Amino acid sequence: MAKKKNSVLPGFRLTLGYTLLYLSLIVLIPLAGLFVKTSEISWEQFWHIVTAPRALASYRLSFGASFLAALVNVVFGIMVAWVLVRYQFFGKRIVDALVDMPFALPTAVAGITLTALYAPHGWFGLLLAPLGIKVAFTQLGVFIALTFIGLPFIVRTVQPVLEDLDPEIEEASASLGANRWQTFWRVILPMLRPALLTGFSLAFARALGEYGSVVFIAGNMPMKTEITPLLIVTKLEQFDYAGATALAVIMLVGSFAILLAVNLLQWRSSRHLARV
């Protein structure tokens, strides 16, 4: 990684060296430490930890709720992005800025607010109670929180693509006899696919690792509403370093695998979408 081909500008060694040093100290070495620590326990021990019933229940919840939340955000994200790009309405600029709120709002703040909102005596909790729906301290609550934090991802990845969409493509579709829905489904949506995949994977990855927004509303009952990050924290608090480490490794490996899969899907689907 070192042969530079530009000798006019100075500072290559300095900046690259500093970059690598800082990167290693802050990111790479500590992350490596995780895997080093894991190697200190035997395979059986590792396997035993990561396949414990409590752990498995937490994976189901974390992965399941994250996946569903990202999916819901795909549907509504397209709708929001469409409305923001195509239509004019009063207060649009404010709405557009507001979409980024889950980014700008600290997770703990989101956590307690959502809990208060959906708790049995909260505004939404009261609305939903007569319907027999409980949100706070249930898996549904986890799902709601994860939907909240993933909301901006799809909108922001889809918006630029929608903005750059060639209007002539839609006109061509209309001139061939397609109605608006057919044009959307057969022409526009396929063009959004790479952006949707990116947004989905970002929302999914974020939701998987999310902690602050979820721990308040989840109720954190083992086997029922305990997400994997919380399980890791619990083990840490009990000084079960091996347990925490093993679970962390599983989480990391799982997220990377998913990200890789989505990247592959995205590469495949955008192969032919160069501007024509």
Q: Does residue 158 sit in helix, strand or coil?
A: helix
Residue selected from 50, 52, 211, 265 as contacting other proteins according to rule CB under 8 A: 211
Q: How far is the CB of 231 from other proteins (least distance, A)?
A: 9
Contact 220, 230 (CB under 8 A): yes
Residues 219 to 258: which contact other proteins by CB under 8 A? 229-230, 232-233, 236, 239, 241, 244-245, 248, 251-252, 255-256
Cα separations in angstroms, 129 against 65, 85, 112, 137: 22, 37, 20, 14
In this structure, the number of other CB atoms found within 10 A of the CB of residue 66 comes to 29
CA distance 156 to 53: 38
User: Which distant-in-sequence residues (6+ apart) come within 8 Å of 219 by Cβ?
Assistant: 136, 137, 138, 141, 225
Residue selected from 48, 68, 96, 129 as contacting other proteins according to rule CB under 8 A: 96
Q: How far is the CB of 181 from other proteins (least distance, A)?
A: 9
Q: How far is the CB of 140 from other proteins (least distance, A)?
A: 14
Residue selected from 106, 130, 131, 132 as contacting other proteins according to rule CB under 8 A: 106
Q: Which of residues 50 and 83 has its CB atom nearest to other proteins in the complex?
A: 83
Residues 70 to 89: which contact other proteins by CB under 8 A? 76, 79-80, 82-87, 89
Q: How far is the CB of 67 from other proteins (least distance, A)?
A: 16
x/- letters, 139..178, toward other proteins (CB under 8 A)? --------xx--xxx--xx-xx--x--xxxxxxxxxxxxx
Q: Which of residues 45 and 113 has its CB atom nearest to other proteins in the complex?
A: 113
Q: Which of residues 102 and 141 has its CB atom nearest to other proteins in the complex?
A: 102
Residues 44 to 73: which contact other proteins by CB under 8 A? none
- Candidates 159, 115, 112, 157; CA nearest to 134 is 115
Stretch that binds other proteins, among 11-19, 47-55, 134-142, 217-225 (CB under 8 A): 11-19
Residues 107 to 146: which contact other proteins by CB under 8 A? 107-114, 116-117, 122-124
Q: How far is the CB of 39 from other proteins (least distance, A)?
A: 12
For CA atoms 243, 245, 249, 252, give the dihedral sign. Answer: positive
| Helix locations, the chain, DSSP H | 12-23, 29-39, 43-50, 53-86, 92-98, 101-104, 107-118, 123-128, 139-163, 167-175, 180-183, 189-209, 212-218, 228-237, 241-269
Q: Does 105 bind other proteins (CB under 8 A)?
A: yes
Stretch that binds other proteins, among 20-28, 41-49, 53-61, 133-141 (CB under 8 A): 20-28
Tokens of 56: 């498995």
